[in-house]
Amino acid sequence: SKGCGEPMNPSGTLIKALLANGAQPLNGVEVGGTSTLISDQPIAPYDNNQNMGAANLLTSLPLPGSNDFSLFVQNDVTIGSGETKTYNFDVDKQKCSSDFSATLSWYDPPSSNGCTKCLVNDLDLIVRNLDSSERFYSNGNSKRDSVNNLERIRISNTSFGDRYRVIVSSSMLGPGYSEQKFSLVVTGCFQSGDGDETSPPVSSEVYELVTTYSANRKQAG
């Protein structure tokens, strides 16, 4: 709406991150062409049946009178090899019950034919509770995700006064790449985000590209 903020030209990665960030879990898997649920087909967030879930604009964009969360975005930001960017958020918004959710998206360069580990430029998303030092990893993992170029962290049952730090790091860039653009979306019960702070490059991991010519190319996103 008019006067709601500075205009921007959203990148494809920002739109992708926005929709994935607000996506909601599915209720089940249907038999093709029917509305009958397959009762013995278990589903969970980030599995092969639903991935991020179903897109829902009510949980993706702040809409006055329809929801109560705030939105913070970074559109097509550049991160260098070994760099880390941090963004701080305080849960300080009254009369708000939204989850704290952060989603990172980027366009990964093409990999080689027949690769089994196909991610070329590996970025990582981590959220840290500044009070308890608890770390949250993306896509339901207990460690960093080195497979996908779309990563989401969702924290439910946040409390007023909680403080979170969203960390985007460049864990590994492929041969010939010194930087990578990304987009970030954060939603929750905060007034505004504080960032970014960029940490200088550190030694990155040794690049590994595993190839087998009998495998099909698979890449998330």
Taking only the tens place, the pLDDT of each residue in 166-188 is 999 998 999 999 999 999 999 99
pLDDT > 70: percent of the chain: 85
pLDDT, mean of residues 68-91: 95
What is the pTM assigned to this prediction? 0.83
Q: At CA 21, angle to CA 49 and CA 205, rounded to 5?
A: 85
Q: For the sheet containing 135-137, what is the strand order?
A: 135-137, 122-129, 163-172, 84-91, 190-199
pLDDT value at 37 more than 80: no
Across residues 110-129, what is the average pLDDT?
Answer: 92
Binning pLDDT at 50, 70 and 90, where does residue 195 land? Answer: low
Which pair of structure tokens corresponds to residue 59?
């949980």
Query: Contacts from 191-196 at CB under 8 Å and sequence distance 24+?
Result: 191/70, 191/90, 191/92, 191/93, 192/70, 192/72, 193/72, 193/87, 193/88, 193/89, 194/87, 194/88, 194/89, 195/85, 195/86, 195/87, 195/88, 195/166, 196/74, 196/77, 196/85, 196/86, 196/87
Task: Give the pLDDT confidence score for residue 15 in this predicted structure.
Answer: 97
User: What number of CA atoms fall less than 13 Å from residue 195's CA on the CB side?
Assistant: 23
How do 70-80 and 100-105 pair as beta strands?
Answer: unpaired
- For residue 106, which amino acid is it? W
Q: pLDDT grade, residue 152 (50/70/90)?
A: very high
pLDDT (0 to 100) of residue 2: 58
Give the whole-angstrom CA distance, residue 61 versus residue 21: 10
Average pLDDT over residues 62-85: 93
Q: How far apart are the first and last CA of the chain?
A: 30
Q: Which long-range contacts (CB under 8 A, 24 or more apart) does 91-94 make?
A: 91/158, 91/159, 91/160, 91/161, 91/162, 91/163, 91/164, 91/188, 91/189, 91/190, 92/160, 92/161, 92/189, 92/190, 92/191, 93/68, 93/69, 93/189, 93/190, 93/191, 94/160
- Region 192-205 average pLDDT: 56
